[in-house]
Structure 1
Amino acid sequence: MDVRQLGVEFFDRLNRHDPLGASLVGLTTYDAFLPDPRHSADLAAARYFRAVARSASSLAVGASSLAVDDTDRDVLRWMADAAADEAEHCLWEANASAMVYGSPQASYFMAGGDQRLPGAAAFFDGLADRYRDAASRGRPSTRFGLQQAAAQLDAHLERPVPVLPAGVRAAMIRLRDAYLGELSENARDDEHAGILAVRGGEAGYRAAVAAHTTLPSTPREVHDLGLSLLADLDEQWSTIGKEAFGITDPVAVRAKLRDDPSLRFTTAAEIMATVAAALDRVSARTPEITALAASAPCAFAEVPPEDADSAPAAYYRPPAVDGSQPGTVFIHTADPGQRSRFALEALTFHEAVPGHHFQIVAAQGLTELPDFRRYVDTRLGAYVEGWALYAEQLADEMGLYSSPLTRLGRVSLAALRAARLVTDTGLHAFGWSRRQSRDFLTAGTVMSSRDVRQETDRYIAWPGQALAYSVGAREILRLRESARTSLGSRFDLAAFHDQVLGAGIVPMTVLSTIINRWAAA
């Protein structure tokens, strides 16, 4: 069997194991399926994925009887091993929550549809059984996560349309009651919020660090990197703070951004208009960024009200492969007085153009690549989120921010991503409490108290994912400077971006090989 046929079989099994994840990257083929919540299903999947990784490793480049592409092989081997780790450690079972991607329940609501309703009652009942089983194996969820998951169910139960079938409604109520009842009795408290506190959590987190950074990093190395990046940002806080406010002290600049009510929006309409203007500016400059820029427009919409309490400030939903839905950025507009004017442009460049929208649509357009290199999102977060964070800095280098204030917004988000390295590892590797994480984020970033709460709870619900951003962006910048040094006057920024986006979605170790080959050639 050649690597692409092995990849086809692997990718189908992966998406049948996690059909909600498949829908969230635009693969409509799996829209009618739901995952099997049983522990035995995860263990069986892990055995299969590990066997695929071994098979991929055995494929020798250049063997005359095999059609092997070494990049396909290396990506498949990495993805299969990471999928096996994810299924073996299954950290979600110890973290009931309302966090999209981190929680099957939340992913159901984001990726669900009427076509999934026939199996929904069994799915919700299966989740309740799985959380009970996990707790019996020394893997209880956090009490606040259970409460948030229950609140999300209540919000969807109260929606006027569509009308839920009686059996589905009853199963959702049973799951909610389990969250608030028996599962809460022995739940983890705020002092034991990290995955370190559950059986197998330490090994599971090490695997999560490897999966989300796609580099051989330890939790301690990532923690120290975050502290270093935060210290390096002080110069930008000072220089841009002077332009924006006449203030040079980084602490005072952050305090101004955090506390000045005039730097908040007043209406949802203002928020959406800011997004539209930023998209107009960057869309006019796309030829300077990459020749692979997709012609598909990027839509934007408000976060649905039933998801407002748990949703981040913005998130991106890729376009459906069949064209039934466009790539869409969802913007949080609830309580505009809590939404900063200064950070929204950077968020737009991150989530839309030239960030997630460019990268994901470009990957979907690489029809010569196998699907396992085109339709991947969180499983290769260092590439996906690393590109999106790099896009924020790229927009600054291109002069796309409208003012020094919004440039400070980019710095504020860079500080947040650096702080994530510290808080995520602090929670899950070094035993930080929920309060310790909040205090660190409050001191080192400009987030409101509401956003600090949401960020902390996100890291707790999805261990390791928050590491992808800074680690990935830092690696792309390193590769860019290495290529610039190697090529000298022949270096072309758009051509470099073509190589990054034209690689499909890959681990950072594989991207390094691709860029080094390009520069050498």
Structure 2
Amino acid sequence: MNVHTLGDAFFDRLNRHDPLGASLVGLTAYDALLPDPRAAADEAAAASFQETVLAFTPTDGDAVARAFVAGGGDAVARAFVAGGGDAVARTFVAGGGDTRARSLTPAGGDAHALVAGDGLLPGGVADGFLPGGAADGDDIDRDVLRWMAGTAAEEATHCLWEANASATAYASPQALFFMAGSAQRLHGAAAFFDGLADRYREASGRGRPSTRAGIAQAVTQLDEQHARFDGNVRAAMQRLVETLRGELSAVARDDEHVGILHVRGGEDGYRAAVAAHTTTDLTPREVHDLGLRLLADLEAEWSRLGQQVFGVGDPAAVRARLRDDPALRFTTGDEIVTAVAAALDRAHAAFPGTARCLVEPVDDPAAPPAYYLPPAADGSRAGTVCVVTTDPGQRSTFGSEALAFHEGVPGHHLQAVASQALMALPDYRRYVDTRLGAYVEGWALYAEQVAEDLDLYSSPLARLGRVSFAAVRAGRLVADTGMHAYGWSREQARVFVRAHTALSAAGVAQEVDRYIGWPGQALAYSVGAGEILRLRTLSQAALGPRFRLEDFHQRVLGSGAVPIGALATIIDRWVRS
């Protein structure tokens, strides 16, 4: 069986196992399906995915890519994380706006030169750039398939979600249902909710109890969603609530034991989650230490921009001002939507070849501040930035532009539209989100810097907002590993995040609780973005005057979603060619 036939079979099996996730990435063919919550279903899926991994033997070929997928040292990514600091990349991820990063733009650092033509992607994304596909051959397809199948097998084996009942978007099955559910799924919804109650109960009995905090959030979310349903679906939701409130709460992990290491199999599961979300073999300790270094590098940027905006140079004082000044908060949900839409208007003007993305308000206190839904494969849904408008007084004005660029253009929307346009690639590389998070989230974080290169931020305060977001992503590396690898309490994580970011008290609580419920995902952003910039720096050094930033971006986005080690192989081949 060739790699494409094998890949098609794997991707269909994956999407039938996780049809809610399939709907979120735009694959409408699975919109009538629901996941089977039974442990036996996960065991069968894990065995099937493992068969894909074992279905072919790696052939002679690119040693770097094969070593990466096999987990043999991952020297490429490790060079960024531990190799002497790679000051350019570290300053980008943590510090933002550093002139060394901006000096990589064409025309001697003239940021506006990037806007020539259709911006960073000549010919426009909508025209289907990189004709013929720049996937770099079947060996990359094979390596991506082996990686995705292997991590899917690990995920279905460890099933961290069963030990983490919560309301966390993307991680919690019932939260996924509320995000991706449709009328087509109602016929099986009652059995789905009853199955979840059984699964959480069984997991707790196997030494994998959920957290008290997560259970409370799940109950609140279910109560809030009751009005959307009736009949047997509402009754099943109520039975799930009663199970969570009753027997599961009685044995739940308290706030001192929120880390996944406190459940049976949790340590092994977390190591697998770190590998899956970073697409590397980095250890939790290495990731933790990286986060500390990035936060230390950030201090100079806090000081520089704080002095410019507030006349205050002490980083802690700058963060306190951003956190506590009520003038830097929205007053209505409409203001949030307007601010995000205005930033995206400027971004779309810089990328006129890119299909417009929509901006839609969402009232969901459990959701992150914003999230992105890619275009549906059948054209029934446009790419959409969903902006949470709940409790606007807790949402910062200074962060709205970085949020827009991350979720929309040049971030997730640009990357998703680019991937979907690559018709020569297999679908498992065109329709993917969190399963290759270091690439997907790494690009979106890197895009916040690209917006700076293009002078898309409207003010020094907005640029300070980007630094604030960079601190959140760096802090995630420390807090996530702190809780799940080193046993930090919920309060320890909150204290750390508050000390190093400008998040409000409510923002800190939501940030920490999100990653209690989704171990490892927090690590994708900074690891992926740092590697993309490292490859940009190396490419510029190797090509000298022949380097064009738009060509580099074309190659990164023209590869489709890949593990970052495979991306390094693709960029290396491009430079050598």
Q: By the TM > 0.5 criterion, same fold?
A: yes
What is the distance in 2 between the residues matched to 1:245 and 1:165? Answer: 53
Unaligned runs of 5+ in 1: 63-67, 288-292
Q: In the alignment, which residue of structure 2 is the partner of 1:312? A: 368
Q: Deviations over 1:26-82 (max 9, x none)?
A: 0000000011101111111111111111114446669xxxxx810100000000100
What is the distance in 1 between the residues matched to 2:61 and 2:550? Answer: 30
| Aligned-pair CA distance for 1:401 | 0.5
Code of the residue aligned with 1:178 in structure 2: it is T
**Out of 215, 221, 246, which is 2:311 matched to?**
246
**Out of 258, 274, 284, which is 2:349 matched to?**
284
Taking the TM superposition and a 5 Å limit, the aligned residue runs for 1:105-120 are 105-120=174-189
Code of the residue aligned with 2:321 in structure 1: it is K
Q: Deviations over 1:471-508 (max 9, x none)?
A: 00000000000100011111111111111111011000
Q: In the alignment, which residue of structure 2 is the partner of 1:389? A: 445
- Residues 45 and 84, structure 1, Cα contact 8 Å, conserved in 2: yes
| Aligned-pair CA distance for 1:242 | 1.3
Taking the TM superposition and a 5 Å limit, the aligned residue runs for 1:10-29 are 10-29=10-29
Q: In the alignment, which residue of structure 1 is the partner of 2:468? A: 412
**Out of 280, 299, 319, which is 2:358 matched to?**
299
Residue 156 (structure 2) pairs with residue 80 (structure 1): no
Residue 11 (structure 2) pairs with residue 3 (structure 1): no
- Residues 98 and 105, structure 1, Cα contact 8 Å, conserved in 2: yes
What is the distance in 1 between the residues matched to 2:334 and 2:512? Answer: 28
Code of the residue aligned with 2:271 in structure 1: it is R
Q: In the alignment, which residue of structure 1 is the partner of 2:279? A: 214
- Residues 348 and 356, structure 2, Cα contact 8 Å, conserved in 1: no
What is the distance in 1 between the residues matched to 2:486 and 2:57? Answer: 34
- Residues 16 and 35, structure 1, Cα contact 8 Å, conserved in 2: yes
What is the distance in 2 between the residues matched to 1:216 and 1:226? Answer: 16
What is the distance in 1 between the residues matched to 2:157 and 2:393? Answer: 43
Taking the TM superposition and a 5 Å limit, the aligned residue runs for 1:121-520 are 121-159=190-228, 164-286=229-351, 294=354, 296-303=355-362, 305=363, 308-520=364-576
| Aligned-pair CA distance for 1:318 | 1.1
Code of the residue aligned with 1:149 in structure 2: it is A
Code of the residue aligned with 1:156 in structure 2: it is Q
What is the distance in 2 between the residues matched to 1:158 and 1:189? Answer: 30
What is the distance in 2 between the residues matched to 1:75 and 1:227? Answer: 30
- Residues 56 and 77, structure 1, Cα contact 8 Å, conserved in 2: no
- Residues 56 and 76, structure 1, Cα contact 8 Å, conserved in 2: no
Q: Matched residues, percent identical?
A: 66
SS of the aligned residue for 2:280 comes to coil
- Residues 169 and 368, structure 2, Cα contact 8 Å, conserved in 1: no
Q: Deviations over 1:263-292 (max 9, x none)?
A: 1112222212111211111111126xxxxx
SS of the aligned residue for 1:315 comes to strand
- Residues 402 and 448, structure 2, Cα contact 8 Å, conserved in 1: yes
What is the distance in 1 between the residues matched to 2:7 and 2:348? Answer: 35
What is the distance in 2 between the residues matched to 1:267 and 1:24? Answer: 28
Identify if the C-alpha distance between structure 1 residues 390 and 48 changes in structure 2 by more than 3 Å, giving closer, same or farther. Answer: same
What is the distance in 1 between the residues matched to 2:410 and 2:199? Answer: 40
Q: TM-score, normalised by structure 1?
A: 0.95
Code of the residue aligned with 1:468 in structure 2: it is A
| Aligned-pair CA distance for 1:381 | 0.4
Residue 37 (structure 2) pairs with residue 37 (structure 1): yes
- Residues 33 and 116, structure 1, Cα contact 8 Å, conserved in 2: yes
Range 208-217 or range 246-255, more displaced: 246-255
Q: In the alignment, which residue of structure 2 is the partner of 1:290? A: none
Unaligned runs of 5+ in 2: 63-136
What is the distance in 1 between the residues matched to 2:445 and 2:531? Answer: 11
SS of the aligned residue for 2:396 comes to coil
Q: In the alignment, which residue of structure 2 is the partner of 1:95? A: 164
| Aligned-pair CA distance for 1:167 | 1.1
What is the distance in 2 between the residues matched to 1:187 and 1:357? Answer: 39
- Residues 125 and 175, structure 1, Cα contact 8 Å, conserved in 2: yes
What is the distance in 2 between the residues matched to 1:422 and 1:57? Answer: 37
